[in-house]
Structure 1
């Protein structure tokens, strides 16, 4: 090397050394690196991290030897303001030659030879390449383990938060809800994810099952808490709902009474009352000593049953009055068919007349058998259109 070339190479190596040192400091301060240093690992993660640590150990040996050569080069350059030929030759050998010496590693006796162990000599460029390969192996391991933790821990953390929320609600309500098994499962899954994220990530179906269970428990407990806090108001609303049921059932009975004299109804068409069952359940809720989980479910079921009973009574009344409307529709249809028979000149037909009289008798007889009346009208209509029985 020329003097200018040697000085330029020395400056470039000094910059390279500072950059490498900074990268190594960044590696050691990396969050995942710090976590791994203090973690108890096992399985695939333990093997991956052990390999990375071996690479890092080799890297630091290389780094120390590399820095030692640069210190020697800087000492030679600092001895004189203008280097002589001897100093320049020494500096060139350090910067461009195989100046980095790696001492032969001590081996177990069963692996030794009686021949002398040979030290390895590398150039600075070879040393940097080997350090970079070790650095990449270590950072690759960090990235893999960090990615595995990032994939596993958020779901487990969310489930743990849900468990704490559910536990708090349970304690607030004083419910005998056993969450020990769920807590143990989460603890086991978290320990496995922390100790071996590469080999033992949490099974998605197991975590989903726990998450679903906790969500259902939370919803039930929140419903129970609302029921306890709102029971007075909801009871008043229930009493009003039962009044609506009572009124709707009364209308259904009136409708049945008005229709049964006009339309032939089977015994099962008589409206049935749900009031006794509903009021009995409300009274039982008032004196119940059950926990609020059970009482909330019963309260919600009673509210739903009251709505359904009122809807059913209104539907029954509407259906009953609809039977009268159906009779009237059949009467109108019979009259239209008779007019059609006159237009077609079949009004005097003996069979058609007989069918008309039968349909008319059924429709104007109280109570009317709607099924038979509808069949009679259909037969009459068929006969005047050229059909027959």
Structure 2
């Protein structure tokens, strides 16, 4: 190396020295490192921090050796303004050759398996910088990961625990307790999970770290919040259930009154259907009329149980009972209405036939054919069938059809004559 190359190398190595010193001091003062140093660690964090502490010790040993070698080279260079050939040879060896000797305790803290222990190891200054950079990146990765987890998860767990405590108090106020309601048992389970989760996060933060596979930078990754997220979702589900119970407490009286009204309407509809069935059996012949069941006593019993729950403020039992009762009461009202419709169907058919018969009679009268003997005869036959009891609907329908056909046969020629006009002979 000539003088200029030596000076440039010394300047670059001095910059490396200052950068490494700054990084090591920052690592020494890092909050994550201080927390790791004072914490009672377990699991993967305990193992990795033990290796990292050793690596940080090596770093300082390497740095001292590097600083000493650089200081020695600068002393050689400072002897003369224009270094001699021997000086340049010595500087070249110090700056480019394996001139830094590190004791085996620093280079290899444990002897190699299957080989003899080395007493020392020699490095070039560039090689020593590369080794320090590697150790620094690994150490910083552990420190940053642990600090990130500690900064993120415990605070979130504490906030969730506070929300859990509020939910437990609310649940207790509406009778949702462990052993008496599934939501109470779930709250106890979430409480145990959060306590265990916080303790593990504090003692083993690296167990909750997901490194970023696409990044090689120290600290690349994110905290693994899977267990926290599951607990938060479970608490949200329980909170919604408690709110539903609270809503029941606020509007239970209105809902019970509405239930009684729906069941009362269903009973009245069934009573009407039974009365209509008797009327149909008396007035309609040859018709199959479905039977009408009585009111369901089970729903009335469950409604009475719901009223008891409300009276004794057992809201957690009242909530699911009201929901099922509301569905079943609406189903019962619909069933009663369908029963009434099915029972009164023959009466509806008879009314439709009566209306059709009278409509055709009115049409015939408008065309001046009311006195036609055939129409009078067929009308009287159909009318007697429809206005007598019991009414044979099948025979009455045939009689109405016969009257309709007769009316059509009489009206069609008359309508054609009016269209053809006077003096025009219609086709026969």
Q: Give the superposition deviation at 1:167.
A: 2.1
Secondary structure in structure 2 of the residue aligned to 1:98: coil
Residue 256 (str. 1) matches residue 274 (str. 2): yes
Q: Give the superposition deviation at 1:132.
A: 2.6
Q: Give the superposition deviation at 1:32.
A: 5.0
Q: Give the superposition deviation at 1:66.
A: 0.8
- When residues 13 and 265 of structure 1 are mapped into structure 2, their CA distance, relative to the original with a 3 A threshold, is same
Which residue of the other structure, out of 222, 226, 239, is the alignment partner of 1:218? Answer: 239
Structure-to-structure mapping, 1:88-107, within 5 angstroms: 91-105=91-105
- When residues 235 and 93 of structure 1 are mapped into structure 2, their CA distance, relative to the original with a 3 A threshold, is same
C-alpha deviations, 1:293-320, integer Å up to 9, x for none? 2333344444444444433433333343
**Bigger Rg, structure 1 or 2:** 2
Q: Give the superposition deviation at 1:45.
A: 3.5
Q: Give the superposition deviation at 1:8.
A: 0.8
TM-score with structure 2 length normalisation? 0.59
Residue 45 (str. 1) matches residue 45 (str. 2): yes
Residues 248 and 310, structure 1, Cα contact 8 Å, conserved in 2: yes
Structure-to-structure mapping, 1:1-389, within 5 angstroms: 1-28=1-28, 32-75=32-75, 77=77, 82-85=81-84, 91-105=91-105, 118-139=119-140, 141=142, 160=161, 163-173=164-174, 175-177=176-178, 179-196=187-204, 214-228=235-249, 230-231=250-251, 234-263=252-281, 265=289, 269-270=293-294, 272=296, 276-277=300-301, 280-281=304-305, 283-290=307-314, 292-322=315-345
C-alpha deviations, 1:304-348, integer Å up to 9, x for none? 444444334333333433465589999xxxxxxxxxxxxxxxxxx
- When residues 315 and 146 of structure 1 are mapped into structure 2, their CA distance, relative to the original with a 3 A threshold, is farther
Q: What residue ranges of structure 2 are gaps of 5+ in the alignment?
A: 113-117, 179-183, 210-223, 282-287, 354-384, 395-428
Residues 97 and 124, structure 2, Cα contact 8 Å, conserved in 1: yes
CA distance in structure 2 between the partners assigned to 1:289 and 1:194 by the alignment:
42
Q: Give the superposition deviation at 1:78.
A: 5.4
Q: Give the superposition deviation at 1:133.
A: 3.0
Q: Kindly tell me the number of residue pairs found equivalent between the two proteins.
A: 339
CA distance in structure 1 between the partners assigned to 2:301 and 2:104 by the alignment:
93
Q: Give the superposition deviation at 1:210.
A: 5.7
- When residues 88 and 21 of structure 1 are mapped into structure 2, their CA distance, relative to the original with a 3 A threshold, is same
Q: Once structures 1 and 2 are overlaid, which stretch shifts more, 148-157 or 296-305? A: 148-157
Residues 246 and 275, structure 1, Cα contact 8 Å, conserved in 2: no
Residues 282 and 302, structure 1, Cα contact 8 Å, conserved in 2: no
Q: What residue ranges of structure 1 are gaps of 5+ in the alignment?
A: 112-116, 331-360, 374-389
- When residues 327 and 25 of structure 1 are mapped into structure 2, their CA distance, relative to the original with a 3 A threshold, is farther
